[in-house]
């Protein structure tokens, strides 16, 4: 997948809009306008801060269903994404938690969003929702039936989960790409707000070959320079919120600070590559 073609940069920073509880979720507040207004505010803050893309996810619907969400959630997320698309011009993605890639693909295709995130595309993971099995075949078949070009970003050994059997990270990355046909892979720490180790990122980057590798959790303005020396991009939310608390709204100042640190890292990385090329040809 060509990151530049999708995001107009080869090192995209993707911010996340955590939706307030949606209809039928345990903490649903009964007012969709409140959900839409907050989502619009956060998307605008992310875009004004300089992110290259935005993922919309039903983060506050926990405890999540294991796979298929209620139709009311699909309807609500469709409305929210359309509202955001009227406010920002960056590419939009969806993550329908916990693992409803089919609904995410349907929404993204209908509203002409550009990508989706799927927590478990291949393999079997033990989670707090129970055992979640990857449904790569069904999802890729559905994408073809929809005649859709929505890209699939897939987590590898996703956070808040453990593989049913011991899995080698490099093999998991390769299976996700070669057997699951993911367009990009995502590597996270063990939980929300925890970054992957540099060693794991290096293993994933080596195994992925030309497929982009994204940081999926734990990136902040202090560690992004180090992480982006290996990764191709980052998905970030918690550290961009006021006081760094995930329950708070997005802080545009924190967004700008993060994006600036990431850009400096990428420029340094690119300059290093240029120097290497010059040395090789001298």
Where are the domains positioned within the chain?
Answer: 3-281
Q: 124 CB contacts (<8 Å, ≥6 apart)? A: 131, 132, 133, 134, 163, 164
Class of domain 3-281: alpha beta
CA distance 231 to 13: 11
Q: In what order do the strands lie in the sheet with 130-133?
A: 130-133, 124-127, 161-163
- pLDDT tens for the chain, 282 residues long, are 999 999 999 999 999 999 999 999 999 999 999 999 999 999 999 999 999 999 999 999 999 999 999 999 999 999 999 999 999 999 999 999 999 999 999 999 999 999 999 999 999 999 999 999 999 999 999 999 999 999 999 999 887 888 887 679 999 999 999 999 999 999 988 777 889 999 999 999 999 999 999 999 999 999 999 999 999 999 999 999 999 898 999 999 999 999 999 988 777 666 655 434 333 332
Q: Residue 40 has what pLDDT?
A: 98
- Backbone phi, psi, residue 10, to 5°: -95, 0
pTM for the full predicted model: 0.92
Q: For residues 77 and 56, is the Cβ–Cβ distance under 8 A? A: yes
State the DSSP H helix or E strand holding residue 118, giving kind and residue range, or none if neither.
strand 115-118
What DSSP state is assigned to residue 166? -
Q: Residue 193 has what pLDDT?
A: 81
Q: Residue 191 has what pLDDT?
A: 77
CA distance 31 to 178: 43
CA distance 250 to 73: 22
Q: For residues 215 and 227, is the Cβ–Cβ distance under 8 A? A: yes
For the chain, give the number of residues.
Answer: 282
CA distance 20 to 275: 47
Distance spanning both ends of the chain, measured CA to CA: 32
Instruction: Label residue 274 exposed, middle or buried (CB < 10 Å: 0-12, 13-18, 19+).
Output: exposed
Strand 124-127, strand 161-163: pairing: antiparallel
CA distance 68 to 137: 16
What DSSP state is assigned to residue 145? H
Query: What CA–CA distances, in Å, run from 266 to 9, 79, 231?
Result: 10, 35, 10
Farthest-apart Cα atoms in the chain, separation: 67
Number of neighbours of residue 46 by Cβ within 10 angstroms: 29
């Amino acid at each position: 997948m060509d990151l530049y073609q999708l995001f107009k940069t080869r090192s995209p920073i993707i911010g996340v809009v955590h939706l307030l509880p949606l209809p039928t979720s345990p903490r649903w507040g009964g007012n969709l306008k409140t959900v839409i207004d907050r989502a619009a505010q956060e998307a605008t803050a992310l875009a004004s801060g300089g992110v290259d893309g935005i993922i919309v996810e039903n983060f506050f619907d926990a405890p999540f269903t294991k796979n298929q969400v209620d139709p009311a959630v699909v309807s609500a997320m469709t409305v929210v994404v359309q509202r955001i698309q009227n406010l920002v011009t960056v590419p939009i993605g969806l993550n329908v938690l916990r693992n409803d890639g089919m609904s995410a693909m349907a929404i993204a295709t209908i509203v002409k969003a550009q990508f989706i995130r799927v927590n478990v595309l291949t393999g079997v993971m033990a989670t707090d929702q129970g055992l979640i099995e990857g449904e790569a075949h069904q999802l890729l078949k559905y994408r073809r039936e929809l005649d859709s070009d929505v890209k699939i970003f897939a987590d590898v050994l996703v956070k808040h989960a453990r593989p049913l059997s011991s899995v080698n990270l490099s093999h998991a990355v390769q299976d996700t790409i070669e057997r699951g046909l993911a367009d990009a892979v995502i590597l996270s720490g063990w939980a929300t707000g925890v970054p992957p180790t540099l060693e794991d990122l290096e293993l994933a980057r080596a195994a992925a070959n030309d497929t982009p590798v994204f940081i999926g959790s734990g990136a902040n303005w202090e560690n992004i320079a180090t992480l982006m020396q290996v990764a191709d991009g980052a998905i970030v939310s918690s550290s961009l919120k006021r006081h760094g608390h995930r329950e708070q709204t997005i802080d545009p100042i924190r967004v700008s600070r993060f994006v600036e640190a990431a850009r400096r890292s990428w420029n340094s990385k690119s300059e290093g590559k240029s120097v290497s090329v010059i040395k090789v040809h001298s």
